[in-house]
Amino acid sequence: MLHAKSIEFMHPERTEEKLKIEAPLPKYFEDVLKMLEKRS
C-alpha cells in the first residue's frame, strides 16, 4: 500500500506555478492500519 498525504511540484508548462495536492487516507487504508495496530 502506498499513499501520499500531499505532493508538491512545479507546473509542467511554462507557468512555473507551484502545485500542491492533498488527499486524506482512504477508508480502507485506515481500516487496514487499525487492524495492524490491533495485531501488534
Q: Count up the domains in the chain and report the number.
A: 1
Cell of 6: 500531499
Task: Output the pLDDT for position 13.
Answer: 86
pLDDT at 5: 92
pLDDT of residue 3: 86
Is residue 14 in some structural domain?
Answer: yes
pLDDT score, position 2: 82
Burial 8-22 (b: 16+ CB within 10 A, else e): eeeeeeeeeeeeeee
**Is residue 1 a part of any domain in this protein?**
no
What does the alpha-carbon distance between residue 1 and residue 33 come to, in Å, rounded to a whole number?
A: 11
- Does residue 19 belong to any structural domain of this protein? yes
Residue 10 lies in a domain: yes
Instruction: Give the pLDDT of residue 40.
Output: 80
Averaged over successive runs of 10 residues, the pLDDT of the chain (40 residues) comes to 89 88 94 93
Domain that holds residue 11: 6-39
